[in-house]
Structure formats: structure tokens, C-alpha cells
A = this chain, B = another copy of it.
Amino acid sequence: MVVERDIDDLPKNDANHTALTPLWFLERAALVHPTRRSIVHGSRHYTWLQTYQRCRRFASALSNHSIGLANTVAVIAPNIPAFYEAHFGISMAGAVLNAVNIRLNAPAIAFLLAHSSTAAVIVDQEFFSVAEESLKIWSENSKTFKPPILIVIGDENCHPKVLKNCVSRGAVEYETFLEGGDPEFKWKPPQDEWQSIALGYTSGTTASPKGVVLHHRGAYLMSLSAALNWGMSEGAVYLWTLPMFHCNGWCYPWTLAALCGTNICMRQVNLSKAVYAAIAKYKVTHFCAAPVVLNSIVNASSEEVILPLPHVVEVNTAGAAPPPSMIAEMSEKGFRVTHTYGLSETYGPSTICARKPEWESLPIEKQARLSARQGVRYIALEGLEVMNPKTMEPVPADGGTVGEIMMRGNAVMKGYLKNPRANKEAFANGWFHSGDLAVKHKDGYIEIKDRSKDIIISGGENISSVEIEHVLFSHPAILEAAVVARPDEKWGESPCAFVTLKGDVDGGNEQRLVEDIVKFCRSHMPAYWVPKSVVFGPLPKTATGKTQKPLLRAKAKEMGPLRKSKL
């Protein structure tokens, strides 16, 4: 018997279906708020109509150079207007934005450009030399090298001579490039919303970089979800502290267009001072930052801070588990910290530690501890579980059993570029495997215990380096801390803490300080967690600002195994 399906027998047509893409947001912003500020960058500012026209010129100029479908365009720049425009102009031409980390060196950039067969490189004048150098490396190492178009972005905060020099070395100036494009360029949404919109290479704390490919559908959904989950609304004023090259600025370039808000750009010179100044000057309502940046805000000198804040400022932090003590300090200053968590593979943050009204009556430390968890899924992430990766069984919600965080749904990447093996592993059993280890609490919120590679196994017991770090962060003399495993004759491994001290701490008497720290740890954690080694000095960072634990682990190994007698 044929089931009558009249009610589903109504096909898609031009009137009732179109691809989801954040490009619609920009078109709408220009229509609804043509004269509202879209971007402010020092003395430069644009309206939404201007931004839309500039992006159409951008797309048109790329098309004129035959750059379009399936081509990638690399951008190497700090948070300046051109980078914002790249989030729309490149995909309006049908091409894919590859946002390159500006802290990478030439060989690393050369790898990305070659791996993605970049058709154009758009580079801020400050980073021109490294881009030039990376192209040279690429050309010398590949027989099929086809020189990409090289476009240089000038910036009034840089020396004008440098820009001139770049042009004399064969680059097209960005503004000149735009002038060649049509401000009325008739862009089209992608034929299929599964089409790629962005490519971003992982920073590789554990392995060589992988190219994460994102699509129009996901970018559309996640940018709306990022607004709704964070309570952002129409006309938000967003400060660009978080690099746009970091997971496409966690989708916020697209969100801001959807909200017809205002983007405040900055080149990040003296960060904490600039943040306070921007809040006062532009009435900033929202910004995002990794905990390390919040740390500098909390520890800013008195000349830098402007307190009390003129209004509550919403802060979204992710990239590492924020120490509860820091969340508490931020709250005291008038910032409202929302903790989110995610990966490049999930369009940036895709879980949020959703606040509950009932927490407000708790002591601030307890609140901060609850808020430091990774929480629950974003609206646009349909599946979040902590599972045993072997059995794919969810762990019990007991706050103790550790499993791997797994995600599934529309917030998960298309896959890694040209890396079938990594894709197979990442998507095994129909879930994306994050590689992060967590527990699930009774209230359903998840909490990271460690990256699988960062766990310390001491006497057969798993020790979470993150938990030790949380305690260390709350020590009054410590600015930053990272804990790794050091070989240990008796226990196999034992915790080794690398710490950076606050500026005003007298590091003269190191031994006394070590004793003090160890004593502090003893009173705040089980004895077997207490670091058996404490090392002072700056922490090595990846290009995205994450502490490079592999290097610290190597260093701890070099220190040799801890003898049974010590401590």
C-alpha cells in the first residue's frame, strides 16, 4: 500500500527555499541600518551600507581575477576592518577564507598556503615580510607552485613608507584592489549551503596542523546561536580583542552583521589599557577573550583601569578552562563572564556554562566554580556527550567518571582538508571526538578534566593537570601556571608545575616561595596531586596563546626522573 504523502509532496522552489549563509545578514544590515556604524578603527569608521559596498567590491575584484568557487584566499592580519570585510567579500565571490594566525613563522605559513593551494594572499603591511618569505619557501619547494595574487593592506597605525615599499615589491594595495571592483556586484548565495565558507588550521598543540573546513550552513546557524546563547541583541557594540583568525573570531564577524551591531577594531598594543579605554569611549557591550587575556585585565595596573565600569560588560571566555578565582575577580570589577568551550572543529565555542538564577545566592567562589565548567550545548549543537571512546557509552552524571567529550550536529565541521585518516578518526561512530577529557555533573553540565595527552598518571591514579592549575591560579603570587607530568622513579609520573609570578612579587627567595606554594597546594588538594617540582619562568605559548604543554613536558623530561628521596 502506498502511503499518502500529499502533505510532504510540496517541492522546493525559488520562492520558498534558499541556502543558509551569513551573507544574508550583511545585505540586511545595509538595508535596515545603512547609516549606523558598522566598524570603527581609530579615526576610520564605516557604515553598514559602506561595509556592504566594500564587500561587494571585494567580491567583484576577486571575481575579476577569476577567484571563486573552491579557491581559498588567505588573510594574514590583526583585527582591522579589511579582515572583517574578508569574512564576507571572499565568500560572496564563492571562495573560501583561510584566516592565518599572525603569530606563525614563514615555514608554517608556507605549509598552509601550499596545503590549501591559496589563490590569493591578503596581508597586513606589518606581516608583509613573513608572507613574502612564506611564498618564497612555497615556490622553492613545489614544482606546481602558481604564484597567488598578493594584496597588502595599509593601516594608518603603521608607517606609510612600509606600505609603499610593499607595493614596489609587487603587491597590490588593498584599497586599490577594491577600487577595481563593482560596489553593486550581484553576489549569489551558494547553490548548496554545504559549500565551504572558511578554512582554519589548528594550532597543533599535539600534532601537525590540520585544515578545518567550515560551511555556510554552519556559519549561519552558529553565528545566530552565538548571539542567542550569550544574550546579545540588536545593535550590540563588540570589541575585537579576540583575534579574527582564531576560529573566525568564534563566528562573531557574522553575528555582528546579523545584529546590525558595531565592531570596534584594535591592533592590540597595550591590551588591558585599550580594553578599558574602548569600554569608556565606545560603550562596548561585549567582548571575547581567552583566560590569559582576562588575566591581564584582572592584573592591570591602576593607571590602565577605568573603574567602576560605566555599565556591565559581557565577556565570553574560552580557549582554556578559566580559573574560578579569575572569574570571581572579573565579576567584582563589573564584568559578567560567560564561559564557553569549543574547538576550531565546532566553529569555535559550542558549549556554554549557562548561568542559573539560583546560583546568585551562593558565595561568589562557589558561583565562580560552577561558572568555570564547560556546561551544556549551544542551541545549534544538537549533541553533546561525555563518553567512553571505546564503548561509546555515556559516562554516569556523577561528576567523577572521566570520558571523552563528543559532539554531533550542525555545529560540527565538514572535515579536515585532504586528510581522510584524520576524518575517519574524528568522526568515528558518528560522533566528533574532541580529544578533551571531562566529567558530567549531576546537573548535566560537563567539566573538562584534561586533554587526553595532558593527564598525569601517578601511582596508577589519573591526576588532572587542570585542577592543579586552578588551585595554583588562586595563589596570590602566581600569574600563570601550567602543570605537566615529570617522570618519577617511585610513582611513574608526578606533577611538575611551571609558574610565572606576578610583576610585583619578589622572586628573590625562590626556595621560600616554592615551599609556600607547596604548602598552599597541600591545603587545597589531595596529597598525591601536590606538585613535586615547581619551576619559575615564562610559559611557552602556541600562536593562538595556548600554553605549549608538549614543550613543557619535554622540559620536565629533560630535568630527569624525580628521585625517590626528594620531597
Contact = CB atoms under 8 A, between A and B. Distances in A.
Interface of A: 3-8, 10, 12-18, 20, 24-25, 28, 31-34, 69-70, 72, 96, 116-117, 189, 194-196, 199, 213, 221, 224, 227-229, 231, 233-235, 258-259, 354, 356-357, 376-377, 379, 382-383, 407-410, 412-415, 417-418, 423, 426-427, 430-432, 444
B3 A423 contact: no
A414 B233 contact: no
B28 A412 contact: no
Nearest to A31: B444
Contact of A356 (B33, B231, B356, B427): B33
Contacts of A189: 382
13 contacts: A6-B70, A10-B196, A10-B417, A10-B423, A14-B408, A16-B415, A17-B410, A18-B382, A18-B383, A18-B409, A224-B228, A224-B379, A228-B259
Contact of A28 (B33, B231, B379): B379
Nearest to A354: B32
A8 B221 CA distance: 19
A407 B12 CA distance: 15
Contact of A199 (B7, B15, B376, B432): B7
Given A7-B199, A408-B15, A417-B6, A28 B377 contact: yes
Contact of A213 (B7, B233, B235): B7
Nearest to A3: B70
Contacts of A28: 376-377, 379
Among all A-B residue pairs, the 3 with the closest Cβ atoms: A14-B430, A10-B415, A10-B414
A195 B8 CA distance: 6
B410 A96 contact: no
Contacts of A33: 354, 356
A357 B283 CA distance: 15
Contacts of A13: 427, 430
B32 A376 contact: yes
A8 B444 CA distance: 36
A14 B429 CA distance: 8
Given A28-B379, A432-B15, A70 B417 contact: no
A94 to B, nearest CB: 11
Nearest to A231: B233
A236 to B, nearest CB: 11
A7 B258 contact: no
Contacts of A199: 7
Given A15-B426, A234-B354, 16 more contacts: A3-B69, A6-B418, A15-B408, A15-B432, A16-B409, A16-B427, A17-B410, A17-B412, A18-B409, A24-B379, A31-B377, A33-B356, A224-B228, A228-B234, A231-B234, A258-B379
Nearest to A116: B7
Contact of A15 (B16, B229, B427): B427
A16 B195 contact: no
Contact of A4 (B24, B117, B224, B231): B117
Contacts of A69: 3, 5
A15 B417 contact: no
Nearest to A229: B234
